[in-house]
Amino acid sequence: MEEIIYKRMNGGLIDKAIIFLHSLNRPYDLDTISSFTYGNGRVALINDEIIGIVLYGYIPKQFNCDINFTLVDVGIKEKYRRLGICKKLIGQIIYLFPKDIYLQVDQNNLPAIKLYQSLGFEIIEFLFNYYGEEKHAWYMKRSKI
Ligand SMILES: CC(C)(COP(=O)(O)OP(=O)(O)OC[C@H]1O[C@@H](n2cnc3c(N)ncnc32)[C@H](O)[C@@H]1OP(=O)(O)O)[C@@H](O)C(=O)NCCC(=O)NCCS
């Protein structure tokens, strides 16, 4: 397979990141990315093309809650899935930020839940209607070791 470069999503990559996220049906714009993550993320690149991304930042579990270090969103280009790329990206964040890490995930998104569990995340709470009517989520946490 082609060489994969893993790196921080610097300012120069944000436009490419937004296009990539749109290709995964994740309609972020610059304002949303900036307000949720301050542009923080890690990307996997092949020939300068983004094939995977993890966004992170300090956000609340729900409104009026404490803010926590959170994986805001993750996505891997379909043809590169199941190769360990997302596990490596999140693994790098775990290494770089040795602290408790949280995330919300759709309760029906089994691939993502399995991925997070394989990295030591545990379900700690059920978030009723988190993504809208009848769209519930799990709140997951990976405790700092
Ligand atoms: C979820 C997603 C990010 C996983 O990325 P990935 O790079 O394919 O995941 P990895 O290859 O690193 O998988 C690591 C482990 O996660 C689990 N996993 C990943 N995809 C899985 C699937 N489709 N079914 C079951 N387990 C899965 C497995 O335990 C896997 O290890 P294994 O391949 O040795 O069995 C990817 O499927 C994706 O982009 N989905 C669409 C976007 C999305 O749902 N994002 C989640 C937002 S909360």
pLDDT tens digits, residue range 44-89?
999 999 999 999 999 887 766 778 999 999 999 999 999 999 999 9
Q: How far apart are CA 12 and CA 98, in angstroms?
A: 26
Domains of the chain: 5-142 (3.40.630.30)
Q: How many CA atoms lie within 13 A of 144 on its CB side?
A: 7
- Predicted structure pTM score: 0.96
**Ligand 1 atom closest to Cα of 82?**
11
Percent of the chain residues topping a pLDDT of 90: 81
Establish whether residue 10 lines the binding site of ligand 1, counting it when its CB lies within 6 angstroms of any ligand atom: no
> E strands of the chain, at which residues?
5-8, 41-46, 49-60, 67-76, 101-106, 122-127, 137-142
Establish whether residue 113 lines the binding site of ligand 1, counting it when its CB lies within 6 angstroms of any ligand atom: no
